Structure 1
């Protein structure tokens, strides 16, 4: 494998530019950080899931010409269903927050707890049932890597490093905010914004099928 700094850097820059937009995956990491529940597990799963998709794109999918129309349609359909359901759940939390109080106290402090298994499955779903993640990582990064010939794997390593850096930074930011923001009003605003984002993304994906 040819490992060069310019190629590695190019892969990292492209990865960061694609992933930095606030989408369903990033919104989920922020929510887990604000909840102060399984944040670092979520960060690790999202980063590893992106690395798998980047590897798939660089090592094989780009050479195959990207996703087939049927596979892309099935992926978009699954993504729309998932985003619609998750958006509905966020909307229900917006309408009627379900919060927990510390033992022996009456004040609310945050959302009901999430199990480690639920956190891992949610992170995987936001990573692998999100068509944007597939298009940005497996397709776009995989296709871009072809321009670097024998150094394409170096480009892919840079892209993977960019994903890890981004999720670590996002996780740190979410952790910092989670220690300072803890009120019913903020949670309602967050859930309302998440519901609109999920439904908006689902509508955009449906429109892309027409």
Structure 2
């Protein structure tokens, strides 16, 4: 293996991680909201990134153990992962055709919003992260994609996905004051979801073809 192999696996993990988390949703809207408030944003970003790191590592470990016991499962996982990616691409394309925006309910409107304690904020972000059933589908997908890289490249793929999480939540949280106007426009989400659709579609095709 060469440095290029490690770099490519990490890069693929980064792109996949960003593709899965960069979409309008409850967790991202909450991080954006806290960023606009400027309250506890460091703790919120840390919790989101650490939670993703734990989930990604669990996905890589779990899938790796499965493949070790049943090598033939890699073929099944490859096609299941490809189907999931293509379905995800279709959903992202649909969102791009019918974009949403962050409405007034996603912005702080009362003094109570600004005075929420750290415990309440962290409880909310943990619930939004760990009680979202879609996150486990995403992690299973990351695990299957990581296993396709082989050992030890799957951990570079996982590290890339973790880096994508850190970059996204840090940018969203700490840059929220500057991004508020941009993400309030449906056109911005159309561009974002359009890019996600292309990325996920390309990854799914590559996985199905064994690339």
Q: Does residue 145 of the first structure (1) align with residue 156 of the second (2)? A: no
- Describe the superposition over 1:89-134 as per-residue Cα deviations: whole angstroms up to 9, x where unpaired: xxxx95xx9722xxxxxxxxx7351111111111111111111222
More helix by share: 2
1:29-48 superposed matches below 5 A: 29-48=31-50
The verdict on how the C-alpha distance between 1:177 and 1:155 changes in structure 2, with shifts beyond 3 A counting, is closer
Equivalent position of 2:136 in the other structure: 134
In structure 2, how many angstroms separate the alpha carbons of the residues matched to 1:62 and 1:167? 27
For the 8 Å contact 2:56–2:162, the answer to whether it is kept is yes
In structure 1, how many angstroms separate the alpha carbons of the residues matched to 2:11 and 2:167? 13
The verdict on how the C-alpha distance between 1:5 and 1:116 changes in structure 2, with shifts beyond 3 A counting, is same
Equivalent position of 1:24 in the other structure: 26
User: Structure 1 residue 63: deviation in Å?
Assistant: 4.2
The verdict on how the C-alpha distance between 1:62 and 1:23 changes in structure 2, with shifts beyond 3 A counting, is farther
TM norm structure 1: 0.60
The verdict on how the C-alpha distance between 1:62 and 1:24 changes in structure 2, with shifts beyond 3 A counting, is farther
Across the aligned residues of Structure 1 and Structure 2, the Cα RMSD in angstroms comes to 2.9
Q: Does residue 10 of the first structure (1) align with residue 15 of the second (2)? A: no
In structure 1, how many angstroms separate the alpha carbons of the residues matched to 2:39 and 2:155? 35
1:122-201 superposed matches below 5 A: 122-136=124-138, 138-150=139-151, 151-176=153-178
In structure 1, how many angstroms separate the alpha carbons of the residues matched to 2:160 and 2:44? 21
Structure 2 residues not aligned, in runs of 5+: 67-72, 78-103, 185-211
1:90-129 superposed matches below 5 A: 99-100=110-111, 111-129=113-131
In structure 2, how many angstroms separate the alpha carbons of the residues matched to 1:11 and 1:98? 38
- Describe the superposition over 1:40-89 as per-residue Cα deviations: whole angstroms up to 9, x where unpaired: 110110011011100010111564489xxxxxxxxxxxxxxxxxxxxxxx
In structure 2, how many angstroms separate the alpha carbons of the residues matched to 1:173 and 1:132? 26
For the 8 Å contact 1:12–1:162, the answer to whether it is kept is yes
User: Structure 1 residue 176: deviation in Å?
Assistant: 3.4
Equivalent position of 2:56 in the other structure: 54
In structure 1, how many angstroms separate the alpha carbons of the residues matched to 2:23 and 2:64? 23
The verdict on how the C-alpha distance between 1:34 and 1:10 changes in structure 2, with shifts beyond 3 A counting, is same
In structure 2, how many angstroms separate the alpha carbons of the residues matched to 1:21 and 1:130? 14
For the 8 Å contact 1:12–1:159, the answer to whether it is kept is yes
TM norm structure 2: 0.59
For the 8 Å contact 1:34–1:177, the answer to whether it is kept is no
For the 8 Å contact 2:63–2:147, the answer to whether it is kept is no
